[in-house]
Amino acid sequence: MSRVVTPRRTAAALVTAALLVPLAACGNDKKDSGEKSSDTPKVKLTVLAASSLTDVFDKAGKAYEKEHPGTKVTFSFAGSQELTAQVREGVPADALVTADTKSMDGLSKADHGTPTVIAKNRLVIATGEGNPKKIANLKDLSDSKLKVVLAAPEVPVGRYSKQVLDAQKLTVKAVSQEPNVRAVLSKVELGEADAGLVYKTDAATAPKKVDAIDIPDAQNAVASYPAATLKTSEHAKDAAMFVKWLSSPEAQKILRDAGFQKP
């Protein structure tokens, strides 16, 4: 059966369609607006953190964001000496975590809140996979035939390295001095060095590329990681919450799983 469309019906249909389009558009705008607002973080925290925390803080940051909806945590990783220099220059940030107390203590109390040690670490000797040079202990590093890389003395891991070598009265001529522990590890990974002194947790991030030779506790150094809020933070309350969370059972488990020791 055919249907006749009259001019009157056509006009009515057009008017109805015209009225419905704006309503549909309004509905979509509300939906889109709601979706965008839920995806946009209410608070964005910037945390300056020691290079040796790179992998574990990536995991910790995701855990924190999940536990605190509306908060986005961004990390800036570098050697502790570089981080403290940034703080002195007034780089915008909310919290600071260094790989030693000396770096933190070197800042003015006007720069940060009261520090809390969140973890500790120890040194190991990193060698190429399979330990091709058969390095067994610190004394072996003094062999002039070996290419040993260390961190620069102003870097926490470099300072710890000097401390343990001096205590054993060993002279090690490094082929290079790197700006942070990850740079030392990279040299060994790439085969540009036979060995290097790094944190235990850093060696653990590259199990298929390097071997880690333990250093006896009596010959080792303990690295402490203090965390503090920064006075320049525009989100002081949220920054304090994050620093406090780093000592929580959940955060501590993430740190333990990565090889860090209890504070």
Annotate 70-130 with three-state secondary structure: CEEEEEEEECHHHHHHHHHCCCCCCEEECCCHHHHHCCCCCCECCCEEEEEEEEEEEEECC
With pLDDT > 70 as the criterion, what percentage of the chain qualifies? 85
> Tell me, what's the pLDDT at 22?
46
Q: Are residues 112 and 126 in the same domain?
A: no
Query: Which pLDDT band, with edges at 50, 70 and 90, does 38 fall under?
Result: low
Q: Is residue 205 part of a domain?
A: yes
pLDDT of residue 12: 44
Does position 9 have pLDDT exceeding 80, yes or no? no
Whether residue 109 is contained in a domain is answered as yes
The 10s digit of each residue's pLDDT in 182-228 is: 999 999 999 999 999 999 999 999 999 999 999 999 999 999 999 99
In a domain, 95, yes or no: yes
105 and 126 inside one domain: no
Q: pLDDT by residue (tens digit) across 39-49?
A: 677 999 999 99
Tell me what percent of the residues of the chain surpass a pLDDT of 90.
84
Q: Is 29 a residue whose pLDDT tops 50? A: no
> How high is the pLDDT of residue 41?
76
pLDDT score at 26: 44
161-170 mean pLDDT: 98
Q: What is the dihedral of CA 225, 152, 47, 205, to 10 degrees?
A: -70
Q: How many domains does the chain have?
A: 2
pLDDT of res. 192: 97
Record the pTM.
0.82
Q: Is residue 145 part of a domain?
A: yes
Q: Confirm whether 31 is domain-assigned.
A: no
Do 95 and 174 fall within a single domain? Answer: no
Residues 138 and 183 in one domain: yes
Residue 14 lies in a domain: no
Taking the C-alpha atoms of residue 148 and residue 146, their distance in angstroms, rounded to an integer, is 6
Q: Which of 117, 111, 47 is nearest to 77 (CA)?
A: 47
Domain span at 250:
43-120+225-257
- 15 within a domain of the structure (yes/no): no
- On whether both 137 and 94 belong to a single domain, the answer is no
Confidence at residue 40, expressed as pLDDT on a 0 to 100 scale: 75
Task: Look at residue 11 in the predicted model and tell me its pLDDT.
Answer: 42
Is 1 a domain residue?
A: no
The pLDDT score that the predictor gives to residue 257 is 97
Instruction: Identify the weakest region by mean pLDDT among 20-24, 78-82, 96-100, 126-130.
Output: 20-24
CATH number at residue 125: 3.40.190.10
Residues 155 and 205 in one domain: yes
